[in-house]
Amino acid sequence: MREMAADDLNVAQNTVDSVVPFGPRRYLERLDLDGLRSSELEMHTGLGTRWKVLDAAIDLFAFKGYNACSMRDIAKVVNIGAPAIYNYYASKSDIFIASLDFVLSTFYAAVLKSPIPRSPESALFCILRRHVLFGIMNRTFARAADALLNKDLMRRELPEHCRFRYSLAMEEYRKILEELIRDVVGEHSLIDYALQAFLVHEIVDRAGEWYEPASPLNPADIADQCCEAVARLLELPAKKA
């Protein structure tokens, strides 16, 4: 897995005015994830066997699915003996937990990083553009997230406290969107704010699935059009002339 290119997401800032940091990690502090509480994301360079095991697992989960992968499969990709993998992770469930935390932490670090625009509307569309661009530029990563964030799989494989923690992080992200939407559209919307946040999230989250490299639209165009669709959903002025 070598698709992560968070710096490329800076293109999301090109159409946003008055970008002013709210303060260090304003939104990220609301998410309780190990990867956001340590320097591991910055340290992750693909070096070291433990990280290679995690990379291989995420790739396999993305393309084969969690249930179709074994510890032996992961070890083979890393080119280590099957018994040796247990020196780094005690079980496949431990790899699942590490993968899920890393996937969520990497995504939220890219989408909610500072700076964020000061106005609620600019903040909302900055985050949404980043979300779209991350999904397009990191398709294997996004595919792994879809495979791992399966409610039945999480219920079956994760300890209850882990399942609660990761579900809460995802819910908190939707709450951030909901709060911004409420500030943007005002207190008299006819549509429930939580429902609006869900619909907005679906628009930007699925854009990466639609994109194909041969598409006449480039990633920035798709991000623009997704933001336009959201603006129409929220009955806001057009985002582009």
Here the CATH number for the domain that contains residue 12 is 1.10.357.10
Domain count of the fold of the chain: 1
Copy the structure tokens of residue 43.
């340290």
- Tens of pLDDT, residue by residue over 11-52, are 434 433 344 444 335 899 999 999 888 765 555 555 689 999
DSSP-assigned letter for residue 189: -
Domain, as residue range, for 149: 6-233
Lowest-confidence segment of 27-36, 105-114, 231-240 by average pLDDT: 231-240
Domain assignment present for residue 240? The answer is no
- Cα(57)–Cα(20) distance, integer angstroms: 38
Domain assignment present for residue 87? The answer is yes
The answer to whether the CB of 97 falls within 8 A of the CB of 89 is no
Which amino acid is it at 171? E
Q: Considering only CA atoms, which of 157, 142, 123 is closest in space to residue 208?
A: 142
**Which pLDDT does position 24 carry in this prediction?**
36
Domain assignment present for residue 210? The answer is yes
Domain assignment present for residue 239? The answer is no
Domain assignment present for residue 1? The answer is no
Domain assignment present for residue 165? The answer is yes
Domain assignment present for residue 238? The answer is no
pTM of the model: 0.83
For residue 114, is pLDDT > 50? yes
Domain assignment present for residue 111? The answer is yes
Q: How far is CA 72 from CA 68, 80, 147, in A?
A: 11, 9, 19
- Tens of pLDDT, residue by residue over 178-228, are 999 999 999 888 899 999 999 999 999 999 888 888 889 999 999 999 999
